[in-house]
Amino acid sequence: MNLEDVQILRRGFLLLFSVAIFALFAVSAGRPFFSGSREIVTAAGWFLIIVCILGRTWCSLYIGGKKISQLVTAGPYSVCRNPLYFFSILGSAGVGMQTGSLLLGLSVALSVAAVFHIVVQREERALLDLHGPSYADYLRAVPRLIPDLSLWKGRTDGQYDSRLVRRTFFDASIFLIAIPYQIAIRYLQLHDILPVLLRLP
């Protein structure tokens, strides 16, 4: 399976998963409405979504358009082999936390991480075939998903594709949909239009 096929697989998995999660949000709720703890969880979720958007945009300064053609090992890719996925997992936790449930935020993040684990394994095999020993050395030196900041190495060329950076920023901003969506769900649940079938801590 080549990298393009892996990316199609990843998008398909995530689309199906997103539909399932948003359907779950519609019939579940976290802590009671307007409670202090709920607002803290929700605000923390907003923060994670913003970190996700900015983090993914930052990654695009380094990898924009290069993932297949060359091995990128500088910037966020010097501390983690898959920083785009790392930031997406944080954003997924933030999306889940919009329900006011810390447990749901963690569950969504772990589910997305499981999907990425499958995708990453396939990507690594494809990149090994493409880049050979240089990628094998990179595999050994840099952690797969959890950043090791002690490995930081900045870029030297200072070049990036502003069009791809903008596209990544707008693509990542899709995570923001969770905020108005969950506000609408809250309103419908408060007015007994939507039932709460599942109450989560």
Q: Which tens digit of pLDDT belongs to each residue from 50-95? A: 999 999 999 988 887 666 668 888 889 999 999 999 999 999 999 9
Please say if the pLDDT value at position 147 is more than 90.
Answer: yes
Most confidently predicted of 13-22, 132-141, 181-190 = 132-141
Taking Cα atoms as reference points, which of 87, 81, 84 lies closest to residue 142? 81
**Up-side HSE of residue 126: CA atoms within 13 Å toward CB?**
17
pLDDT at res. 148: 95
Q: Which of 77-81, 136-140, 153-157 has the lowest mean pLDDT?
A: 153-157
Cα 10-22-31 angle, rounded to 5 deg? 125
- 165 is in which domain, residue-wise? 3-199
- Token pair of 169, please? 């920023």
Domain count, the chain: 1
